[in-house]
Amino acid sequence: MNELVQLAHRVLPGGHFGNMASDIALVRGEGGHVWDSEGREYIDYLLGSGPMFIGHAHPEVTAAVLAQIPLGTTFFANNPAGIELAAAIVDAMPCAEQLRFLASGTEADMYAMRVVRAFRRREKILKFEGGYHGMSDHALMSLAPRRPGNFPHPIPDSAGIPARVQDEVLVAPFNDADAAVALIEAHHDELAGVILEPFQRLIPPVPGFLQAIRDVTARLGIPLIFDEVVCGFRFGYSGAQGHYGVTPDLCTLGKIIGGGFPLAALCGRADIMAHFDRAKVGEEGFLMQVGTLSGNPVAAVAGLATLAVLRRPGAYDDVFARGRRMMAGLTEALRRHGVTGQVVGEPVLFDVVYAAGEIRNHRDTLRADGAVQAAVNRHLRAGGIMKGDSKYYLSTAHTDADVDRTLSLFDEALGAL
What count of other Cβ atoms lies within 10 Å of the Cβ of residue 292? Answer: 8
- The answer to whether the CB of 235 falls within 8 A of the CB of 225 is no
Which one is catalytic: 42, 45, 111, 132? 132
Give the rounded distance of the alpha carbon of 404 from its chain centre. Answer: 26
Spatial neighbors of 415 by CB under 8 A, at least 6 apart, are 337
CA distance 297 to 320: 31
Q: Residue 352 forms beta bridges with which residues?
A: 343
> Distance between CA atoms of 106 and 139, rounded to whole angstroms?
8
- CA–CA dist 333, 345 (Å, integer): 17
* Run of H or E residues at 320: helix 317-337
- How would you label 81-105 residue by residue, b for 16+ Cβ within 10 Å and e otherwise? bbeebbebbbebbebbebbbbbbbb
The torsion defined by the Cα of 323, 328, 330 and 335, in degrees rounded to 10, comes to: 170
402 belongs to the catalytic site: no
Looking at 124, 255, 387, 391, which residue is catalytic? 255
Task: Specify whether 354 is catalytic.
Answer: no
Instruction: Give the residue from 339, 295, 280 showing the smallest Cα distance to 76.
Output: 295
* Measured distance CA(136)–CA(218) in Å, rounded: 26
Catalytic residue among 227, 249, 351, 402: 227
The answer to whether the beta carbons of residues 232 and 239 sit under 8 Å apart is yes
Catalytic-residue membership of 277: no
Catalogue the active-site residues.
132, 227, 255
